[in-house]
Structure 1
């Protein structure tokens, strides 16, 4: 075990875990941030996707000891049910979730894309989102949600950025 600090969703947490513990386990078990899901444990499905710094990351593969000072953002850090963030709102408006298991990871991957590229073209969206899987087949609604979020955030609509 090793004492370290982890900044998650804007809050600093003192944790006492082995440095090779996957970030996903720390988020879920120690911080009660349950948005990121355990899917495959191999970084092949994306259900565990969070942002580390400004990049999307598979939290099931990333040892917490490698986070360092970089902030971690989970879906809980983007907004709430009462006040969803722009990407969350777009996913709700496009009814992009069916079973919902993949959606937190999808939202985080979309958030990372739009943070680095606020006006992605269709090919860029598809390429960026392709690494996250949805077994329910809502891919077209997910793509519409990413396009909507980009449009809303660019246009300065409520919750977006002017």
Structure 2
């Protein structure tokens, strides 16, 4: 597990970026972790098959374990906010999801842009939601996993180096202080 964190200046600047909620409303990134420790998972794009499986695993973390640790999970995708509802439907994930369609936050946080390993996203979303084909996000954008807050604090960073490189859910929960064993 990586012990990397973000320096305060980088996180303070990132906190000012805006993301969109599922209704198209802008919120600052910093508001997502201002009051509570938050696991922020940047998915690749809203139709990524690998991220879909990862999010389905995240959804298995018991709400009681998160509550006991004073932690919540937030997802951010690099596509248009219009794809958020479809992503809820595809993954069964009921938690908060936001969109960074410009990928400015992804870039600021140093998240890698490449297509190493796989392109298994076609049947996951593109065929099921063809109207959202150009709203899912850039297919070469990789994501990452962060433990942030409360306030301008970073306890953990993992940047994906390829398309299947999210940190294991159990390790991410451990970094967040969440008691979880699948």
The TM-score with structure 1 as length reference comes to 0.26
Larger helix fraction of residues: 1
The TM-score with structure 2 as length reference comes to 0.24
